[in-house]
Amino acid sequence: MRYIEFGTQKAKISEVVAGLMRINQMSVPELEVFVDTCLSEGINAFDLADIYGGGKCEALIGELLLKRPDLRGKMWIQSKCGIHTDGFNYFDFSKEHILASVDKILMRLQTDHLDSLLLHRPDALMEPEEVAEAFDILESSGKVLDFGVSNENPSQMALLRTCVKQPLAANQLQLSAAFTPALDEGFNVNMEIDAGIVRSAGTFEYCRLHDIVIQAWSSLQYGYFQGVFFGVPKYEKLNAKIDELAEKYGVTNTAVALAWILRYPGKTQAVIGTTKPERIREAARACDFTLTRKEWYEIYLAAGNRLP
Ligand SMILES: NC(=O)c1ccc[n+]([C@@H]2O[C@H](COP(=O)([O-])OP(=O)(O)OC[C@H]3O[C@@H](n4cnc5c(N)ncnc54)[C@H](OP(=O)(O)O)[C@@H]3O)[C@@H](O)[C@H]2O)c1
């Protein structure tokens, strides 16, 4: 495994992150095997959100921590808040909502602190002063050690940074070999083609400029939760290239797909959503090798992209 230094705590956390959005059907004994497998592979970073499974994902981790208190010191735990799910999804970065959400998160997780808290999706009605007040309270009470955002563009982060005094440690963004709008716009600046349409406004570059960790979510999916791209006819060339490189490096397609994400410079993590211990072991191999520059571009092109 490879590690990055995260946030003000300089926590040494794994480049491969176990995303826990889909664990709500697991039993606690199954989850225990899953977490032990992650830790034995060197994966010590775990990602949650208050809305995952309507709170059940966090509650399951809480049950596991109650059963196995030894795990808390080994697990770096991140969660997210800022989305209401009552009736329809809408966003809330008010001080009151952030503070109440963290208290509920900690109660479900049966722990006294989060290693990292992300604001889940941008709230157009955000008042940065209110977020700053909430973060100060969470920091001084020791409830949250580091802070960040998710799915935010540079202007949204800059607006927050006008008031928030804690550094934004991470931005969690969708990225996979089959989902690259943030990269496409960078290759096609000032070009009259659709790939040049600005969708992220230089978000990745902004993160690198400000030492913000890029956490790639849905790192094996295409579209918006359309499924993993492995075996999908539309991505035949991509899969063929990934399989070829998997053979070369003696790993599985999972490891190559994640190595492609981790080849992006700066501090980059791949958040994976498997619930299977055997796939965790495959994913951890992504850190055993580094794709060449040419291989990285071959994968990008095999996904159906063009370069100028
Ligand atoms: N910030 C955000 O807005 C946001 C949004 C979405 C997700 N996330 C985070 O990112 C994490 C990962 O997202 P994700 O779950 O969509 O990621 P993912 O790893 O791309 O997808 C996981 C899903 O793919 C399946 N899968 C994995 N490998 C497979 C293979 N080789 N063949 C067939 N199926 C395979 C898994 O099934 P098995 O369990 O059977 O392996 C699981 O259902 C989440 O857990 C969450 O922490 C964040």
Whether 82 maps to a domain, the answer reads: yes
Whether 37 maps to a domain, the answer reads: yes
Whether 260 maps to a domain, the answer reads: yes
**Catalytically active residues, by annotation:** 52
Whether 71 maps to a domain, the answer reads: yes
pLDDT at 264: 98
Q: Among 14, 20, 21, 174, say which to mutate for ligand 1: greatest number of ligand atoms within 8 Å of CB.
A: 21
How far separated are the first and last CA of the chain, in Å rounded? 35
- State residue 17 phi and psi, 5-degree precision: -110, 135
Which helix (DSSP H) or strand (DSSP E) does residue 101 occupy? helix 95-109
Which 8-state DSSP code applies to residue 306? -
Whether 15 maps to a domain, the answer reads: yes
Which 8-state DSSP code applies to residue 176? B
- pLDDT digits 0-9 by tens, 245-278: 999 999 999 999 999 999 999 999 999 999 999 9
- State residue 6 phi and psi, 5-degree precision: -115, 125
- Distance CA(78)–CA(33), nearest Å, equals 20
Per-residue pLDDT of the chain (308 residues; tens, 9 = 90+): 999 999 999 999 999 999 999 999 999 999 999 999 999 999 999 999 999 999 999 999 999 999 999 999 999 999 999 999 999 999 999 999 999 999 999 999 999 999 999 999 999 999 999 999 999 999 999 999 999 999 999 999 999 999 999 999 999 999 999 999 999 999 999 999 999 999 999 999 999 999 999 999 999 999 999 999 999 999 999 999 999 999 999 999 999 999 999 999 999 999 999 999 999 999 999 999 999 999 999 999 999 999 99
Domain count, the chain: 1
Whether 219 maps to a domain, the answer reads: yes
The Å distance, Cα 193 to ligand 1 centre, comes to 31
**Is residue 172 a contact partner of residue 271, using CB atoms and an 8 Å limit?**
yes
Note down the domain range covering 24: 3-302
The Å distance, Cα 21 to ligand 1 centre, comes to 8
**Is residue 14 a contact partner of residue 3, using CB atoms and an 8 Å limit?**
yes
Q: Indicate which CATH number applies to the domain containing 185.
A: 3.20.20.100
Q: Where are the beta strands (DSSP E) in 21-167?
A: 45-47, 76-81, 83-84, 90-91, 114-119, 144-150
| pTM of the entire predicted model | 0.98
**Among the atoms of ligand 1, which is closest to the Cα of residue 276?**
41
Ligand 1 site: residues with CB under 6 angstroms? 19-22, 47, 150-151, 172, 217-221, 228, 230, 254, 271-276, 279
Whether 107 maps to a domain, the answer reads: yes
Whether 62 maps to a domain, the answer reads: yes
